[in-house]
Structures are given as C-alpha cells and as structure tokens.
Chains A and B, each alone.
Chain A
Amino acid sequence: MAKKTRRDLIQGSLDMLILRTLSRETLHGYAIALAIQQRSGDELRVEEGALYPALHRLELAGLLKSTWKISDHNRRAKFYQLTAAGRKHLEAESANWNRLVAAIAQVMEG
C-alpha cells in the first residue's frame, strides 16, 4: 500500500471513529461529533468540514444508511445507522488499528 500521509491516517481514523460511534446507536451528525468529543475526553474535536464529507462518503460506499426523522428537539434531522457491510468494515478496520498500535508500541519500547 502507498505511504499513508498524515491526512490519510486522520481521515481513515475518522471513518473508523464514526463507524464505532454508530455501532452503539443511531445518531445524527451533530450527535456523532459530540459523542466522539465526549468519549475522547475532549481530545478529539471533529470539524464539520471533515465530518459531513466523511458521513456522505461512508453512505455512498454503502457502509451507512440514513433516514430523516424528528429529533428530540422536534426538528427534522438526518439520522445515520450502520449497515451490515459497515459493521464488517468496522471489525476489519478495528483489527488493523489494533495491530498498528501494537506494532508502534513495540518499536517505541524497544
């Protein structure tokens, strides 16, 4: 595989984070960003400029499914959920990520 630039890494990670977030529940765009922010302890802030392109790209790839519903604030919002393909993709990416992290850790230790 070609050398992954920092942009690639971050973009790839964002996809994974979104998928992971949606594996727990169905959320709309703002809620996803909020969830990622909160669960990372404010370390990771997802910019809208990155979030929405990512969401739409994942949807075009068939990993997410979207529906328009009424949110709990009585407004119309687009809710995203994982598809079966998305779930499989998440498992694969997860495994890759863990392998990568372990490998880096080993290099740093040694």
Chain B
Amino acid sequence: MAWWMKLLRRRRLEKDLEDEIAFHRAMRVNDADAPPFGNETQIRETVRDLWRLPWIEALWQDIAYALRSFRRQPGFTAIVVATLALAIGANTAVFSVVNGVVLRPLAYPEPDRLEFVFTQFPGLGFERFSMSLPEFLEFREHALAFEMVGAYSTGEATVGGAQPSRQIGALVTHNLLPTLGVQPFTGRGFEESDSRPGADPVVILSAGLWQREFGANPGVVGSRVEINGVSTLVVGVMPRGFDIRDEKVELLAPLTIDPAALPNTRSNHFLYAIARRKAGIDRAQAQADVDRLLSRWKEIAGPGVHTPNETAHRVAITPLLDDIVGGTRRTLWILQGAVGVVLLIACVNLANLLIARAGSRTQEHALRAALGASRWRLLRQMTTEGLVLAVAASAAGIALAQGGLWLLLSSYPRVLPRIGDITLDWRVLAFTAGVALVVALVFGLVPFVHLLAKDRIGNALKLAGNRTTGGTARARVRTALIVSEVALAVLIVTAAGLLLRSFVNLTSVDVGFDRSNLSSFAVALPGSKYNPAARVAFYRELRTKLEALPGVRSVAVMTGLPTQRFLNASDTDFAHIPNNQPEYQGPAENVDYYQNVSLGYVETMGTRIVAGRNFEAADEGGAPVVLVNEALVRKFFEGLDPIGRQLKRGFSDGSPWFTIVGVVKDIKNESMAAETGTEVYFLTDQVLRISNQAPGSMYAAVRSALPLATLAPQFRRAVAELDASLPITEMKTMDDAIGESITRPRFLLLLLGLLAGMALMLAGVGIYSILAYLVAERHQEIGIRMALGAARQDVVRLVLVRGLGAALTGVMVGIFGAMSLTHVLTSLLFEVTPNDPATLAGGVGVILMVAASACIVPAWRASRVSPLTALRA
C-alpha cells in the first residue's frame, strides 16, 4: 500500500478494519468452544501502528512540542525571532540586489553570446571609448566571428504634444534589434531603408513611454508624433522592460547613414556597438578574430591616419553583461560579505542564548534520555525547534527584505545598473532557505554539543535542584563567543568607518567653484525650428530675462554643467606643438572637454581667473579667443606661458586659430574623485560667427540667494515667454547636482553604516546577556566570596575583567582580521588607505565603549548580590 495512501485514507482503512473484525466475530458466534475473542482495541492499535508513518508523526510531535515550549518562554522566542528576522532579512535584501544586478542573465535570448564592442586609445588614457561610423561598418563586414553587429548612440529628444517632454532616445542601426534578439511587440522594427538620407522619419517607442505619454493607445502605431519639432511616424512599440545597456532609452530612431559623407567622419567617435557571436564560437576565438582584423585594418580602410590598429587605436570586445555591471560586482559582494558578518554576529548571540537555555533544560533532556530517548532523537528535537524558529524568522525576514528594498530603491532608483527590476525570484528564495537551514542547524547543534559533554546527563539528574557553576568548559565557550562577536563587529565598524572618511573626503573636495546659491536648468532647442543664429539669440535673450529677475545676481549659459559633463575628447591643434615631427613624444593633442559659454561664466560659477583675463563683451565681435583651465596648462604648456598662444579645433586646415587669453581655475568635470580634465572654453557668439555652429542644448546657471522653489516658476515663465513649446529639464540646485555625482558612495555608506549599527547593537546586547547569565549562574559563588570578605568592588572587578578581557581579545583578533581584509575595499575608498590607523582606532574605541557599557549593568548587579540570600538558595 503506498505511503501516501496510508496518510490520506486513514479513516477508510479504520472502517475497513472494523468491518473485518466484525465479520470475524460474527463467524465465530457459531464456534462454541473457541477462546474468547482477543481485545479488539488492542488489535486495532497494533494494526494502526502498521499504518503509521513514523517520521512524519515524529516530526509533527517535535513541532508541537517546540511550539509549546516557545509559548512558555515568549520573551526568549520574541528576541530570537526578531534578531534572526532582521539578520536574515538584511541578507535576503542584499542578495536580491546581488542577484538582480550581477547574477541574473540579461533579458535577451542567449545573452552570453552578446559582446560589447569598443575602442581603446592607450595613449590618451581612454580605456573604453566609442566607435566611429566607418569603423563600425568595417567591423561589421569583416569581423567573421559575429553573426550580427548593431550600434547605437544616445541623446535626448523633445517629444511634442500638449506637454512636451525631454526623453532619452537612441539612434540605432537597423540590425541592432535583431542582434539583441528583441522585436517590437506591435508594429515593426527598422529596415535598412530607414537609414538612408532623406528617408521618412520613423520612431519606435518604449512600453513605458507608450503607457505614460500615449495612454497605452493600441492605435499608436501608424500615428504621428512631433520629435524635436519634426513630425515622425510611430512604427512600433518595444516590449516592457526592454533597454539597451541600461541606458534607459524611451525612443528608438534609425541612424542615418550617408555613404557620401562617410570618409570624413572616421575620427568622429560616437557609436557603441553590440555584437552577437556566432553559435559555436567562444570568446577566445572571437577575440582572436578581432586581433586578426586589427592587424589588417589598414588594408581594408585604405590609406589614412585614423584607422584601428593593434597599438594606439585598438578595438576590443567584452561580454555585454560584464560591461554593464562589471564595476559594481566587487561592491555588491563586499556588501553581501558585510551583511553575512551581521548574520554571524546574530548567530553568535543566539548560540549563547541557546546554551543558557539548554543549561536550564538539562534536567528535561536528562529525563527524556532516561525514558528512552536516544541522543539522535534529542538532536532531532532541538533541530526541529531551530527549524521552526528559522522558518518563522525567514518569513518575517522576507517581508522585511521586501519592505526595505522598496524603501531603498525608491530613494536611490539609479544607483546601480539593472536595479529597476529587482524581484524576489527563485534564486533569492533558495538563498533564504539555505540561510534558514544553516541557522536551524546551528540551533540544533549548539545545545546538543553542550549536552554531549561527558556525564552531563547523568550528573544532571543527580544534581537536580542545584545550580552548578558550569565548569571551565562553559566559561571558555562564553569567552569564545564574546571574542568572536567583538572581532566581527570590529570588521564591520572599521569598514563603515573607512567609507565614512572616504565620503567626507569626497564631499570636501574643492570643486573649483562656489557651489552655494547656484541653481541650474537645461533647455534644448530643436534644430528644425532654430538655426544656429536663432539659438544664440535665444540663449542671449534668456540670459537677459533671467538676470532681470529679482534676487538674481548673475546668470551664465554653458554647454556643460560641472560634475555632470560627458567626455568630448576633441582633437586640438596647439600652435606651439609641432604636428608632423615623427619623433614627437609629448601628450597626444586631444582635449578632454570643450565648453561653449556665454559671458559671465566666471562670475556666476564663483570661480576665478588665475592668469590673463576673462571673456569681455568686446570679444563677442572680436578676434577668436579662448580660455583654458589649469589642467590644460599643466599638460600642454609645461613651463611655458600659455597667454597669447594659439590653438585650433581639429587638425584640418580650414578651421581658424583661437588665441588663449586667460586661464581658469580647475573645475571638476565629471566626478569628485577624478582628476580635473583638460578644458577649453569657447564663447558661443564667436563660434557662431566663425563656423555658423551653435549648441542645441545648454544649461542656464543662476546665482541667487533665493531658494529654487521660489525661482523655479520664474524660470519657467522666462522660457515660456520666449517659446512656450520648449520643455525645461534638470532643474536643480548645484548642491543637488554635486550630490547626484556621489550617489553611489552615499548609498554604500548608508548601507554599511546601517549594518555597522546593527552589528554594534547585536554585539552589545550579546555581551550584556552573556555576562548577565554568567552573573546569574555564579550567584552562589559570588555570595560565598562576599561572605568570605570580598568587597563589592572586587566582585565588580571580577565581572568587568571577565567581560572586558574577552572584549579586548576580540578587538585584537578583529584588528588583525581588519588589516588583512580591508584591502578589498580599496577601489571604493577616496584618499584613505585601507589600513588607516585613525579609522581603526576610532572603530575600536566605539566598540570598547559599547562593550564597557554592556558590562556595567551585570557587574553592578553582581555587586548587589546579598550573601545571605545567595547562600540560602
């Protein structure tokens, strides 16, 4: 009979047996001299025993017993479950992030075949740079290891309608979507004809944009929408969750490829390429293929300077997932380690609680053993208790993790790549189950080991009623627990301290300008409506209007906002550096950042001119002049005076020479932690006059003591008065902008700080309870000592020495551990070494304070012991 039948059809079986016995009895009625019928109940019981599933019944029994014993000690249970829930919840939350960012494969078919293709310019220090269109086309045609290669470039576009908005969009080649393996769920993808010059403008929307701005209208395909002022046909909508390389694109448009213009754009790098390896080709083979291509690229491209080769201008591939998340892997595993340490501390606490509890249950266990329970049975009982607690704590922990994650992600929505769609998937649940299992085992083994000590069971029965002092073994275990807790706490507190110092260093970096009282916003002008002259006029009028606002001290317009810049990497010809000398050994004449500014930049930003002069009103119609920053002077003008020297945009003969008239103090370009890059400032009016070009999107920076909330509507009105169809974006204070650039370090600090706080709290509570039990157990001994003449402070000293001695040992172990482990944090630290003694000392100090305060109460209680009552008990 199948085992499950026994379980489910029990009632039926019982009835059958009853009938069977009744039949037998009925038959026997006729048999006069037979012995009396056996005890029917006994028969039933014996047969019933055959039906039992011993292990399920035993498990059920254990669980019921466990629940009863927990109900008897609600305080203990509550503490245990709460502590564990916190620790397990934290672990689950962090693992969800690790899983969502690092472990989860990309949402494309066969994602491990996707490679990111990029260029490298070792001479310029560019490790990961974009490709140019001719390069990309050559790569696509000649790199045989790949079945498909597509490319894209991102930018912003104004999506028109009643409420125009700026959205992130991507210009893509027609085979990017097939390369990724995703198609619009309605409508069509792009075809090669869409990329021809003069083709009808078409666009594909993201599912998110479709829902938000188009009301999920099913008839959107075939309708027209205004993009950057141009009427564009919507041809498709992408499925939900689609993105390219975590760029958060909302629009896709075809990249226009003009074969006639191609040869001139070899050095115009702006494309990012994604390639799909052919099935059966592995990474090494693909890499070898690319290397081969590099060695013969010059033959393919023909004569010319700017061709990929094996040395100065490389093309490389890396798995797409690595490219997206690579930088964060280490950070996340560090976080996981930290939260694991907190869990360990929680387990140490619980081990202590369990030992204390087991100590008081020794009698109960001894009795059960005497009644026939095997050691195995007792172990199973304790493990089951652990399992029940672990399951309860895990359920609570998962709920906490969900809540905590939601909170964290809504405050830091973009801090990590792929963080937008983190869920509790099977890997996370499996992880939590694993953690719960380990905890349950700890629960079972710790008291069991305690029980197994020689003669424990026998002695326990004999000494029933007495409180034993426990012996040296238990004291050693106690010390070991305190030492391990403190050591672990040192690790985490040191890590948090290092991150704190690093963050403080970051925020006190000299950004090079006065960041207070500065607000900014961006306005983009569609090329279809504004020619370059109109754009310059617009920005000038905007500046005038803004300066006229009450409370505004000065306004400047610029193409790049400090700490939010994008690398331009523009070739720049310096007059004083010879071009055609083959032995030229100096830095390649490439400037990191080009800035187009209006007058008033230096005043508005609150920076200063360190040499020469600022732009003046006369320059607007005057000779071409530029300002450079200190970094550029250091790099290209070592020892020479830059004032009066000339430079030129690019190396073609047609462009005019600009004269350097002033040097600006270094202003941070991209991140607070990076060195300031080289920068050249051009005056917008001059660029227009000389080359009839003007930026399509600029930032307005406004210096005013008024808060942004007061200024914002006035900004909007000023723009609307000039052109009501233009959306304003990125309105924020400079402090906010800088804050954005250090979001990730702040996020990390917050998390690690929280964990350090948890660790300290757990360690403190742990030390306190260990010592409290110690005092309670040695109640009698203390009473004896005092009766024999020990003073109260001797008793206090006894306890304190115990506690602090163990804590000190723990600190030393912790310091040793910290010094060997903190080097993993190096990449996250800014201007702080991993073994920074001040941080270590600070961390140790905090922990010792916590330990000392944890020791005081038990010590004081010990001194209150009255010898009379202790001896009588």
- Structural contact, B20 and A52, CB atoms closer than 8 A: yes
Q: What would be 29 A-B contacts, judged by CB atoms less than 8 Å apart?
A: A28-B20, A28-B23, A29-B20, A29-B23, A29-B24, A30-B23, A30-B24, A47-B35, A48-B43, A49-B39, A49-B43, A49-B46, A52-B20, A52-B43, A52-B47, A53-B43, A53-B46, A53-B50, A56-B17, A56-B50, A59-B1, A60-B50, A60-B51, A73-B27, A75-B23, A77-B20, A78-B16, A78-B19, A78-B23
SS of B interface (majority): helix
Interface residues in A1-36 by Cβ distance below 8 A to B read 28-30
Q: Report B457 CB to chain A, min CB distance, Å.
A: 27
Residues on A with beta carbons closer than 8 Å to the beta carbon of B24: 29-30, 48
B28 at the interface (CB under 8 A from A): yes
A56 to B20, CA, bound (A): 11
- Structural contact, B20 and A78, CB atoms closer than 8 A: yes
Interface residues in B1-33 by Cβ distance below 8 A to A read 1, 16-17, 19-21, 23-24, 26-28
Residues on B with beta carbons closer than 8 Å to the beta carbon of A49: 38-39, 42-43, 46
- Structural contact, B39 and A56, CB atoms closer than 8 A: no
Residues on A with beta carbons closer than 8 Å to the beta carbon of B46: 49, 52-53
A57 at the interface (CB under 8 A from B): yes
Q: Report B869 CB to chain A, min CB distance, Å.
A: 57
A29 to B47, CA, bound (A): 14
Known contacts A29-B20, A76-B19, A77-B20; is-contact A48 B27 (Cβ 8 Å): no
- Structural contact, B1 and A75, CB atoms closer than 8 A: no
Residue with the highest number of chain A CB atoms closer than 10 Å, among B20, B35, B37: B20
Residues on A with beta carbons closer than 8 Å to the beta carbon of B20: 28-29, 52, 77-78
A45 at the interface (CB under 8 A from B): yes
Interface size on A, as a range, is 20 to 34
- Structural contact, B37 and A56, CB atoms closer than 8 A: no
B interface residues, tally (CB under 8 Å): 21
Counting residue pairs across A and B whose Cβ atoms lie within 8 Å, the total is 53
Residue with the highest number of chain B CB atoms closer than 10 Å, among A28, A30, A52: A52
18 additional A-B pairs beyond A45-B35, A71-B23, beta carbons within 8 Å, are A28-B23, A29-B20, A47-B35, A48-B21, A48-B38, A49-B43, A52-B43, A52-B46, A53-B46, A53-B50, A56-B50, A60-B51, A73-B27, A75-B26, A76-B19, A77-B20, A78-B19, A78-B23
Known contacts A30-B28, A60-B50; is-contact A52 B35 (Cβ 8 Å): no
B37 touches which one: A29, A48, A71, A77 (CB < 8 A)?
A48
- Structural contact, B50 and A47, CB atoms closer than 8 A: no
- Structural contact, B38 and A30, CB atoms closer than 8 A: no
Q: Report B426 CB to chain A, min CB distance, Å.
A: 38
Residues on A with beta carbons closer than 8 Å to the beta carbon of B42: 49
A52 to B50, CA, bound (A): 11
- Structural contact, B50 and A57, CB atoms closer than 8 A: yes
- Structural contact, B21 and A52, CB atoms closer than 8 A: yes
A32 to B38, CA, bound (A): 16
Q: Report B766 CB to chain A, min CB distance, Å.
A: 50
Residues on A with beta carbons closer than 8 Å to the beta carbon of B39: 49
Residues on A with beta carbons closer than 8 Å to the beta carbon of B26: 75
A30 to B16, CA, bound (A): 15
Q: Report B811 CB to chain A, min CB distance, Å.
A: 59
- Structural contact, B35 and A77, CB atoms closer than 8 A: no
Q: Report A70 CB to chain B, min CB distance, Å.
A: 11
Residues on A with beta carbons closer than 8 Å to the beta carbon of B43: 48-49, 52-53
Cβ contacts B122-152/A at 8 Å (1 or 0 each): 0000000000000000000000000000000
Known contacts A48-B38, A59-B1; is-contact A30 B21 (Cβ 8 Å): no
A73 to B28, CA, bound (A): 13
- Structural contact, B37 and A30, CB atoms closer than 8 A: no
With both beta carbons as reference points, the residue of chain A lying nearest to B23 in the complex is identified as A77
- Structural contact, A56 and B35, CB atoms closer than 8 A: no
Q: Report A29 CB to chain B, min CB distance, Å.
A: 5
- Structural contact, A56 and B47, CB atoms closer than 8 A: yes
A65 to B11, CA, bound (A): 20
Residue with the highest number of chain A CB atoms closer than 10 Å, among B27, B37, B39, B51: B27
Q: Report A93 CB to chain B, min CB distance, Å.
A: 20
Residues on B with beta carbons closer than 8 Å to the beta carbon of A71: 23
Interface residues in A43-77 by Cβ distance below 8 A to B read 45, 47-49, 52-53, 56-57, 59-60, 68, 71, 73, 75-77
A30 to B22, CA, bound (A): 11
Q: Report B828 CB to chain A, min CB distance, Å.
A: 64
Residue with the highest number of chain A CB atoms closer than 10 Å, among B39, B46, B51: B46
- Structural contact, A53 and B23, CB atoms closer than 8 A: no
A29 to B24, CA, bound (A): 7
Q: Report B536 CB to chain A, min CB distance, Å.
A: 95
A53 to B42, CA, bound (A): 10
Residues on B with beta carbons closer than 8 Å to the beta carbon of A47: 35, 38
A52 to B16, CA, bound (A): 12
With both beta carbons as reference points, the residue of chain A lying nearest to B20 in the complex is identified as A78
With both beta carbons as reference points, the residue of chain B lying nearest to A31 in the complex is identified as B27
Residue with the highest number of chain A CB atoms closer than 10 Å, among B17, B28, B42, B43: B43
A2 to B822, CA, bound (A): 62
A59 to B51, CA, bound (A): 11
A60 to B47, CA, bound (A): 11
Q: Report B8 CB to chain A, min CB distance, Å.
A: 16
A21 to B26, CA, bound (A): 22
Q: Report B13 CB to chain A, min CB distance, Å.
A: 9
- Structural contact, A60 and B16, CB atoms closer than 8 A: no
Residues on A with beta carbons closer than 8 Å to the beta carbon of B47: 52-53, 56
Residues on B with beta carbons closer than 8 Å to the beta carbon of A53: 43, 46-47, 50
Residues on A with beta carbons closer than 8 Å to the beta carbon of B37: 48
Residue with the highest number of chain B CB atoms closer than 10 Å, among A45, A47, A49, A71: A49
